[in-house]
Amino acid sequence: MTPGTPKPLSLAQLPTPIERLEAPSSRLGVNLFVKRDDLTGGITSGNKVRKLEYSLAQALSEGCDVILSCGATQTNHGRALAALCAQLNLKCQLFLLGDKSDQHLGNHLLTRILGAQINYIDLHQYKDRQKLFQRAKQDWQQKGHKAFMIPTGASDALGSFGYVKAVEEIAQQSSVEFDHVVVAVGSGGTLVGLAVGNAVFEQNWKIHGITVCDDKDYFGQVAEEILDGLKKEYLPELSLCVQDLNFVDGFKGRGYGRSDTRLRRQLIQLAQECGLVLDPVYTMKAWQGLESLVDRSVIRPGENVLFIHTGGTGGLLGHGGNFGIQDFES
Ligand SMILES: Cc1ncc(COP(=O)(O)O)c(C=O)c1O
pLDDT at 1: 62
Ligand 1 and 257: CB distance under 6 A: no
pLDDT tens string for the chain (330 positions)?
A: 654 789 999 999 999 999 999 999 999 999 999 999 999 999 999 999 999 999 999 999 999 999 999 999 999 999 999 999 999 999 999 999 999 898 999 999 999 999 999 999 999 999 999 999 999 999 999 999 999 999 999 999 999 999 999 999 999 999 999 999 999 999 999 999 999 999 999 999 999 999 999 999 999 999 999 999 999 999 999 999 999 999 999 999 999 999 999 999 999 999 999 999 999 999 999 999 999 999 999 999 999 999 999 999 999 999 999 999 999 987
Q: Delineate the domains of the chain, giving CATH numbers in brackets.
A: 18-46+155-328 (3.40.50.1100), 48-154 (3.40.50.1100)
- Does residue 105 contact residue 318 with C-beta atoms inside 8 Å? yes
Ligand 1 binding pocket includes 185 (Cβ within 6 Å):
yes
Q: Is the CB of 40 under 6 A from ligand 1?
A: no
- pLDDT value of position 330: 74
Ligand 1 neighbour 184 (Cβ under 6 A): yes
Q: What local confidence, expressed as pLDDT, does residue 247 receive?
A: 98
Measured in whole angstroms, the distance separating CA 241 from the mean position of its chain's CA atoms is: 21
3-state secondary structure of 156: coil
* For the CA of 183, the nearest atom of ligand 1: 4
Name the β-bridge partners of 304: 31
**What distance in angstroms lies between residue 143's CA and the mean position of ligand 1's atoms?**
33
Q: Is ligand 1 within 6 A of the CB of residue 155?
A: yes
Phi, psi of 33 (to 5 degrees): -125, 160
Q: Closest ligand 1 atom, CA of 76?
A: 16
pTM of the full predicted structure? 0.97
Half-sphere exposure of 262 (CA within 13 A, CB side): 7
Contacts 24+ apart (CB under 8 A), 58-62: 58/6, 58/148, 58/158, 59/90, 59/148, 59/150, 60/9, 60/88, 62/146, 62/148
Most informative mutation of 34, 38, 48 for ligand 1 (most atoms within 8 A of CB): 48
Alpha carbon distances (Å) from 13 to 37, 43, 235, 273, 311? 9, 12, 26, 27, 13
How many Cα atoms within 13 Å fall on the side-chain side of residue 29? 10
76 CB near ligand 1 (under 6 Å): yes
Expressed in angstroms and rounded, the spacing between residue 71 Cα and the centre of ligand 1 is 11
Which residue, judged by its Cα, is nearest atom 12 of ligand 1? 186
Q: Is 280 in the pocket of ligand 1 (CB under 6 A)?
A: no
